[in-house]
């Protein structure tokens, strides 16, 4: 599974996570970013076209060398400087209060210890800073949650460790974040167990 996860999954994600349904969502989650931004789970740079002009620079944390290579053209075309300076969101190497904003899109499902990663995010955010996120996770409907639990093991194998059923709001709370009510929805044209979304902004308590 190592070769599949390391070589194949980033290429699949580069194609399947860039479509007409997801681009407007990426635009929404990026639109209020500003200043010096940390993006965890940068992937192949699919958010780069949506960085607003208020962003002065982006530091990317991305474990996959393949994904970073796939991002090369997007990074080169970006009007915002982007540099890769980390691989593991669970152990950030940056000083406390280093960033004005943090961005996470479809990342917390795969990080082995999401609470630990979010505590690191809280540590590196400056006062007044915020985490901007869109994640899939545990659905609001009981019947859908049952299906998520049934298929999660297979999904993790196929999608390189991605969990369908993480309760993102509870994870944020445990890590010390307050959220305005996160927007909950389902992706259109997507089976609900795979398309339950959390979208919003979280701030350190």
**Coil, helix or strand at residue 25:** helix
Q: How confident is the model at residue 64 (pLDDT cuts 50, 70, 90)?
A: very high
Two tokens, residue 25: 């969502």
| Segments of the chain assigned E as strands | 35-40, 55-61, 82-86, 99-105, 125-136, 177-179, 183-186, 196-204
State the pTM of this model.
0.96
Q: What is the pLDDT of residue 181?
A: 87
**pLDDT above 90 (res 1):** no
User: How much of the chain exceeds pLDDT 90, in percent?
Assistant: 96
Q: How confident is the model at residue 2 (pLDDT cuts 50, 70, 90)?
A: confident
Q: What is the pLDDT of residue 180?
A: 83
Q: What is the pLDDT of residue 8?
A: 94
β-strands 177-179, 196-204: how paired?
antiparallel
Q: How confident is the model at residue 68 (pLDDT cuts 50, 70, 90)?
A: very high
User: What topology is assigned to 2-204 in CATH?
Assistant: Rossmann fold (3.40.50)
Q: What is the pLDDT of residues 171-194, one digit of tens each?
A: 999 999 998 889 999 999 999 999
């Amino acid at each position: 599974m190592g070769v599949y996860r390391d070589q194949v999954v980033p290429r699949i994600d580069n194609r399947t996570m860039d479509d007409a349904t997801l681009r407007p969502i990426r635009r929404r989650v990026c639109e209020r970013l500003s200043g010096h931004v940390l993006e965890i789970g940068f992937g192949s740079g699919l958010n780069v076209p949506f960085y607003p002009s208020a962003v002065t620079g982006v530091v990317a944390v991305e474990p996959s060398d393949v994904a970073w290579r796939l991002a090369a053209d997007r990074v080169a075309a970006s009007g915002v400087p982007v540099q890769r300076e980390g691989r593991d969101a669970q152990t950030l190497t940056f000083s406390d209060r280093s960033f004005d904003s943090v961005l996470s899109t479809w990342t917390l499902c795969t990080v082995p210890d999401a609470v630990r990663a979010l505590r690191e995010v809280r540590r590196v955010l400056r006062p007044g800073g915020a985490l901007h996120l869109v994640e899939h996770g545990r659905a609001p409907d009981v019947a859908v949650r049952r299906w998520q639990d049934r298929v999660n093991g297979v999904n993790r194998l196929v999608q390189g460790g991605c969990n369908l059923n993480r309760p993102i709001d509870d994870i944020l709370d445990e890590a010390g974040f307050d959220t305005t009510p996160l927007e909950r929805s389902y992706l259109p044209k997507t089976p609900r167990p795979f398309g339950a979304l959390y979208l919003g902004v979280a701030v350190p308590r």
